[in-house]
Copies of this chain bind each other. A is one copy, B any other.
Amino acid sequence: MTARRQSCKAFARHATRLCAPPSPLAAYRAHEASLRTGFTHLYARRERLDRSPAAAFRSQCRDGGHTSQTSGCVPGFVQANFVALPRAHAFDFLKFCLHNPRACPLLDVTAPGSPSPTIVAPGADLRTDIPKYCIWRDGEVAGEASDVVDLWDDSMVGFLLGCSFSWESILQREGLPPRQVEQGVNVPMFQTSLRNASVGPFAGNLVVSMRPYLPSQLGRVEAITSAYPGAHGGPVHWGDPTELGLTFSQLTRPCWGDPVEIRPGEVPVFWACGVTPQTALREARLPLAITHAPGHMFICDLQDSELKV
* 13 examples of A-B residue contacts, CB within 8 angstroms: A8-B262, A18-B215, A23-B238, A23-B243, A24-B235, A28-B236, A32-B197, A38-B40, A38-B41, A38-B97, A38-B101, A38-B105, A95-B109
B266 touches A19 (CB 8 A): no
- Tell me if A259 is interfacial: C-beta within 8 Å of chain B: yes
- Tell me if A274 is interfacial: C-beta within 8 Å of chain B: no
User: Known interface pairs A219-B21, A249-B5, A263-B7. Does A240 touch B15 (Cβ–Cβ under 8 Å)?
Assistant: yes
Identify the closest chain B residue to A94 (Cβ): B94
- Specify which chain B residues have a CB less than 8 angstroms from the CB of A37 in the assembled complex: 98-99, 101, 197
Report how far A224 CA is from B112 CA in the complex, Å: 39
User: Known interface pairs A20-B218, A38-B101. Does A25 touch B262 (Cβ–Cβ under 8 Å)?
Assistant: no
B111 touches A199 (CB 8 A): yes
- Specify which chain B residues have a CB less than 8 angstroms from the CB of A249 in the assembled complex: 5, 8
What 10 A-B pairs are tightest by C-beta distance, nearest first? Answer: A38-B101, A20-B215, A91-B91, A25-B237, A38-B40, A28-B236, A12-B248, A90-B91, A7-B262, A4-B252
User: Known interface pairs A5-B252, A32-B197. Does A10 touch B218 (Cβ–Cβ under 8 Å)?
Assistant: no
- Specify which chain B residues have a CB less than 8 angstroms from the CB of A175 in the assembled complex: none
- A81 CB → nearest B CB, Å: 16
Report how far A194 CA is from B157 CA in the complex, Å: 28
Query: How many residues from A make CB contacts under 8 Å with B?
Result: 75
Report how far A94 CA is from B235 CA in the complex, Å: 29
- Tell me if A200 is interfacial: C-beta within 8 Å of chain B: yes
Identify the closest chain B residue to A250 (Cβ): B8
A261 touches B3 (CB 8 A): yes
- Tell me if A239 is interfacial: C-beta within 8 Å of chain B: yes
Report how far A234 CA is from B218 CA in the complex, Å: 35
Interface mask (A225-265 → B, CB under 8 Å = 1, otherwise 0): 00000000011111110011000110110000001011111
Q: Quick one: which of B42, B105, B237 contacts A24, CB cutoff 8 A? A: B237
A21 touches B243 (CB 8 A): no
Q: Quick one: which of B10, B215, B234, B265 contacts A21, CB cutoff 8 A? A: B215
Q: Quick one: which of B109, B199, B239 contacts A15, CB cutoff 8 A? A: B239
Identify the closest chain B residue to A259 (Cβ): B4
Report how far A9 CA is from B82 CA in the complex, Å: 37
Report how far A236 CA is from B109 CA in the complex, Å: 25
